[in-house]
């Protein structure tokens, strides 16, 4: 491990890339736009998955699995959907390689061309609604509440590790309902699930809202979202939940017989979060020394580093270190005892800081004599000498404190970075000099939204839920407006 | 649910297909060769994943994730590997769709042709060893012990749900070691992990062995396997663990510096099991009424069916049923109380039999009076009246009994279906009339193996581990042989 240090204040983007690589989270592969998620990064993703999966099941959802490939003809059935995704589709056209009889090289066998091309799923609404047609006949078959954990592919020209990659991992929920009300309620419920997960597990405060028409999912009636604010003042869309109306039911002829014996189209939702959340996690809490992980997601919550020089010191220090390790492990804490003796304590300290381990316990010969340990917390870098007898009840409490502190810090940062403006000049000043969310009046038209985006590089992140109604004038057009919306430059 | 009943004795293959569909495990999709894993089937797969994943982690492995796509040039670097997979590769050639200016149809954009074609991974040795090159410099970087849960694609012409599908789900372990001994030990260790999982969780007895050269994984020095025997007398390869030698290290130039400061190629293993295990599970235990699930994999271990006609009966029955439900749930049993009142008890009984729920508890008004319940076990179909007071300690015990009984039954069946033969006539008679494994002498040549396969449709399933050495003559060529091997017709 050679750690190149880059400060956030110097170049946030370079700092991010460097951190992702040096903390062993992910790296670019030799396949354009595709990343390799390294074991430490994947362990964090697995913790996210477990927390999300539990919440999905508690709200009545089951997992299933649908094909990776989507026939082109399915993909084109919902007009706005294909518009949204056509430009970024990986297409399978052949199903065999062969040895070129002339050059002896391995080539794609021209005789093995598919009659119909297959799209590598960028999202699965089409293949799933094609399936629901045969699963749904009557109101008794509804609702269907499914989720899928899967890889998806969207051909991206400019990629960033975790934030925007050609292949990414995600979950996509796809539900079918008898009524509009029920589908809207599901859409909102899953938004709440995402917000709860983001705030209580990722420790990232989010704004819940609904997207403007321009920013909607291709095929949705309404797209709800949670938006986070990163340390560099840019917004990040962290999850979306779509009310799809009857669009996919109509495209795939999915009807059901109501209790009153009438034929009706089925109502749909879909919702997803992805490995992008890893980016949100990193850019919400980390510092110039490396990752800062919320204890609820940390693969290692506490690391114990024994300190000794002579062999006799090692024996007495390791005996205590092992006892504390067992003690904490018994309490269900994910604890690691780093007893490697080819590395210095200083090296280990830096490495666990880089990796964001929330609590470090150091113990040397003098600590053994005094019945103490040195406890350092990653978030504030505070150190304290703690009586070893206190470890058992103080460490779990400390982990909760760190979780809360990280969240509060991110919340304070965000609170300081929501700027209310009334003129174009104020708007541009806020974006350029203050960064963060800008709350401003907008005339509600796509044209104005588009113009603002061109002029300022800021997009409407969302119209917050329960947004106060307030008369005002659009910052660009001057037309009448009934509510403010949140703008930001975004990832 | 309309259940079409097919008996195993009539048409085993049709019985299998019908069971997979009617028990809601999986179905064919409209994408050729790809299946949809339905929620009930996926819940069983999730239980398998959890058991396997825990065993992988206990043996020191970590999960990671590598790209879905493999550049054609990587894929062709290990000669025998590409030979093995070239004929079944899905190939991505383009990355965009567009509207045809003339026909207005959506077509593959000819301007978006990839410079180098991408193969959808059929297995990941090549992309992973290309990565290991930069991860491994010194003996200190070894071993690398990784696993990946992923989807893979092998273009199959004839598919069967779970057993052989174009896309399937699996795990693939890929490890890198400093020495041959260590790599071989890893290969054998993972074989033991698979065997333990198969026997103790799936309740399927397996024979551990090594493959003949003809049946080896493309790129392996040795392929170890676990082989199960299905109810129709055909064998099923349930998992493989490959010792890859230095083949991939040489193909991808992965070297390390030894303690003695010499450059050496790294040693490799890979090992995998897939959704094919669902097929093994089904064909090992099920009967004409449907699935029989081992309790350790059953998403629902115990179902409680309340029986009542009048409303006042419902009240007293549901009160007790709910109390028993809570009682069993508290013990960590996965229990379901089916209180739907639009379905008859008879319908429910048949449905839970079809789904393989290990234990059914029925409770009616008379049971409430007597303080009893009726307990039916799925494996033997035995029913007993049990005092409700005994539920708490007897049900966990009964689940263990069922797990053991299912295993023993499969083991007895297999023991009766290993036939030792010494002549070609006996060999063919055993295959045709007795079915199962046939233990016979073989001269050790690929030619003879190939001929036997052509003539009998049987393949060498494996050379069992710790195979007794015994002089004999090859059943086909009459040449000298030093040990028997196991033949069978196989899936």
What's residue B230's pLDDT? Answer: 98
Among residues B405, B424, B434, which one has the least CA distance to residue B234? Answer: B434
Strand ranges (E), A59-105: 62-63, 69-71, 91-94, 97-99
Query: In this structure, are strands B302-306 and B335-337 parallel, antiparallel, or unpaired?
Result: parallel
For A200, list phi and psi in degrees, rounded to 5: -90, -20
Average pLDDT for runs of 10 along chain B of length 491: 79 97 97 96 98 98 98 91 92 96 92 97 97 97 98 94 98 98 98 98 98 94 98 98 98 97 98 98 98 98 96 96 98 96 94 98 97 98 97 97 98 98 98 98 97 98 96 97 98 96
Task: Collect all residues of chain A within an 8 Å Cβ-Cβ radius of residue B71.
Answer: 30-31
In the block, tokens 């270190």 appear at: A321
What's residue A80's pLDDT? Answer: 87
Q: Do residues B117 and B72 lie in contact, with contact meaning Cβ atoms separated by under 8 Å? A: yes
User: How many CA atoms lie within 13 Å of B395's alpha carbon, on the beta-carbon side?
Assistant: 30
Contact A69 B35 (CB under 8 A): no
Q: What is the pLDDT along chain A (491 residues), one digit of tens a residue?
A: 456 789 999 999 999 999 999 999 999 999 999 999 999 999 999 999 999 999 999 999 999 999 999 999 998 898 888 889 999 999 999 999 999 989 989 999 999 999 999 999 999 999 999 999 999 999 999 999 999 999 999 998 899 999 999 999 999 999 999 999 999 999 999 999 999 999 999 999 999 999 999 999 999 999 999 999 999 999 999 999 999 999 999 999 999 999 999 999 999 999 999 999 999 999 999 999 999 999 999 999 999 999 999 999 999 999 999 999 999 999 999 999 999 988 999 999 999 999 999 999 999 999 999 999 999 999 999 999 999 999 999 999 999 999 999 999 999 999 999 999 999 999 999 999 999 999 999 999 999 999 999 999 999 999 999 999 999 999 999 999 999 999 999 99
Residues 6+ apart with CB under 8 A from B181: none
Contact A86 B96 (CB under 8 A): yes
Among residues B232, B259, B152, B201, which one has the least CA distance to residue B400? Answer: B201
CA distance B66 to chain A (A): 5
Before B150, cis peptide (omega within 30)? no
Q: Which letter does DSSP use for residue A70 in this model?
A: E
What's residue A83's pLDDT? Answer: 87
Residues 6+ apart with CB under 8 A from A322: A337
> Which one of B21, B27, B28, B31 makes the best mutation probe of the A interface by having the most chain A beta carbons within 10 Å?
B31
What CATH superfamily classification does B302-404 receive? Answer: Anticodon-binding domain (3.40.50.800)
Q: What is the DSSP string of A209-223?
A: EE--GGGS-TT-SEE
Query: In this structure, are strands B480-488 and A97-99 parallel, antiparallel, or unpaired?
Result: unpaired
Q: pLDDT tens, A202-240? A: 999 999 999 999 999 999 999 999 999 999 999 999 999
Class of domain A12-285: alpha beta
B41 is written with which tokens? 């089937």
What's residue A188's pLDDT? Answer: 98
Q: What is the DSSP string of B161-199?
A: TTTB-SEEEEEEEEEEESSHHHHHHHHHHHHHHHHHHII
Report the alpha-carbon distance of residue B61 to residue B383 in Å, rounded.
44
For A453, list phi and psi in degrees, rounded to 5: -60, -45
What's residue A3's pLDDT? Answer: 60
Buried b (16+ CB within 10 A) or exposed e, B14-39: ebbbbbbebbbbbbbbebbbbbbbbb
The model carries a pTM of 0.97
Among residues A76, A83, A148, A157, which one has the least CA distance to residue A119? Answer: A76
The domains of chain B are located at 12-66+135-285, 302-404, 418-488
What's residue A341's pLDDT? Answer: 86
Task: Collect all residues of chain A within an 8 Å Cβ-Cβ radius of residue B46.
Answer: 63
CA distance A369 to chain B (A): 34
Which of left, alpha, beta for B426 (phi over 0: left; psi -120 to 50: alpha)? alpha
A34 is written with which tokens? 């595709």
CA distance A43 to chain B (A): 7
Q: Interhelix angle for B39-58 vs B180-197, to 10°?
A: 140
Q: Dihedral (C-alpha) A232, A234, A238, A243: value to the nearest 10 degrees?
A: 170
Contact A169 B65 (CB under 8 A): yes
Percent of all residues in chain B with a pLDDT value above 90, rounded to a whole number: 96
Q: Do residues A438 and A486 lie in contact, with contact meaning Cβ atoms separated by under 8 Å? A: yes
Report the alpha-carbon distance of residue A171 to residue B135 in Å, rounded.
29
Q: Is B120 on the interface with A (CB under 8 A)?
A: yes
Chain A residue closest in CA terms to B38: A64
Report the alpha-carbon distance of residue A413 to residue A431 in Å, rounded.
16
What's residue A92's pLDDT? Answer: 98
From the CA atom positions of chain B, what is the Rg in Å? 26
Class of domain B12-66+135-285: alpha beta
Q: Interhelix angle for A276-285 vs A12-22, to 10°?
A: 110
Report the alpha-carbon distance of residue B486 to residue B438 in Å, rounded.
6
SS3 state at A285: helix
CATH number of A302-413: 3.40.50.800
Report the alpha-carbon distance of residue B237 to residue B207 in Å, rounded.
10
Report the alpha-carbon distance of residue A397 to residue A65 in Å, rounded.
40
Class of domain B418-488: alpha beta
Among residues A180, A263, A276, A196, which one has the least CA distance to residue A235? Answer: A276
Contact A36 B169 (CB under 8 A): no
Report the alpha-carbon distance of residue A131 to residue A125 in Å, rounded.
10
Q: Is B169 on the interface with A (CB under 8 A)?
A: yes
Report the alpha-carbon distance of residue A268 to residue A244 in Å, rounded.
5
Q: Which letter does DSSP use for residue B118 in this model?
A: E
From the CA atom positions of chain A, what is the Rg in Å? 26
CA distance B222 to chain A (A): 26
């Amino acid at each position: 491990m050679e750690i190149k240090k880059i400060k956030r204040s110097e170049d946030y983007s370079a700092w991010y890339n460097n951190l992702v690589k040096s903390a062993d989270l992910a790296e670019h592969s030799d396949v354009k736009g595709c990343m390799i998620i390294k074991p430490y990064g994947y362990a964090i993703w697995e913790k996210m998955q477990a927390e999300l999966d539990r919440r999905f099941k508690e709200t009545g959802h089951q997992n299933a699995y649908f094909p990776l490939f989507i026939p082109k003809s399915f993909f084109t059935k919902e007009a706005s959907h294909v518009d949204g995704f056509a430009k970024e589709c990986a297409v399978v056209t052949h199903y065999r390689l062969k040895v070129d009889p002339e050059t002896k090289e391995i080539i794609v066998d021209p005789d093995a061309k598919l009659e119909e091309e297959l799209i590598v799923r960028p999202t699965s609404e089409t293949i799933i609604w094609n399936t629901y047609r045969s699963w749904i006949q009557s109101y008794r078959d509804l609702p269907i509440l499914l989720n899928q954990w899967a890889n998806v592919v969207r051909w991206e020209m400019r990629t960033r590790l975790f934030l925007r990659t050609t292949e990414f991992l995600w979950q996509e929920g796809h539900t079918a309902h008898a009524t509009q009300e029920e589908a809207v309620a599901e859409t909102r419920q899953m938004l709440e699930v995402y917000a709860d997960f983001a705030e209580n597990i990722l420790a990232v405060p989010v704004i819940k809202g609904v997207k403007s028409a321009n920013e909607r999912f291709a095929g949705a009636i309404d797209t709800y979202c949670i938006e986070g604010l990163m340390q560099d003042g840019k917004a990040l869309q962290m999850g979306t939940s779509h009310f799809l109306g009857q669009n996919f039911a109509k495209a795939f002829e999915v009807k059901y017989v109501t209790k009153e014996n009438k034929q009706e189209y089925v109502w749909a939702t879909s919702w997803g979060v992805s490995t992008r959340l890893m980016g949100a996690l990193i850019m919400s809490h980390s510092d110039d020394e490396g990752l800062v992980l919320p204890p609820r997601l940390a693969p290692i919550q506490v690391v114990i580093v024994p300190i000794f020089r002579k062999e006799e010191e090692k024996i007495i220090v390791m005996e205590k270190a092992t006892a504390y390790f067992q003690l904490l492990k018994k309490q269900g804490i994910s604890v690691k005892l780093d007893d490697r003796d080819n590395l210095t304590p200083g090296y280990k300290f830096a490495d666990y800081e880089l990796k964001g381990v929330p609590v470090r316990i150091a113990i040397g010969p003098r600590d053994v004599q005094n019945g103490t340990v040195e406890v350092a917390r990653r978030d504030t870098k505070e150190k304290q000498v703690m009586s070893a007898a206190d470890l058992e009840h103080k460490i779990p409490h400390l982990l909760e404190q760190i979780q809360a502190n990280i969240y509060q810090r991110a919340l304070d940062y965000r609170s300081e970075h929501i700027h209310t403006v009334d003129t174009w000049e104020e708007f541009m000043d806020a974006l350029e000099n203050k960064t963060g969310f800008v709350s401003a009046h907008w005339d509600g038209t796509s044209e104005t939204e588009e113009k603002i985006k061109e002029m300022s590089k800021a997009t409407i992140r969302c119209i917050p839920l329960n947004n106060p109604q307030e008369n005002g004038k659009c910052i660009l057009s001057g037309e009448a407006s009934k509510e403010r919306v949140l703008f930001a430059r975004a990832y």
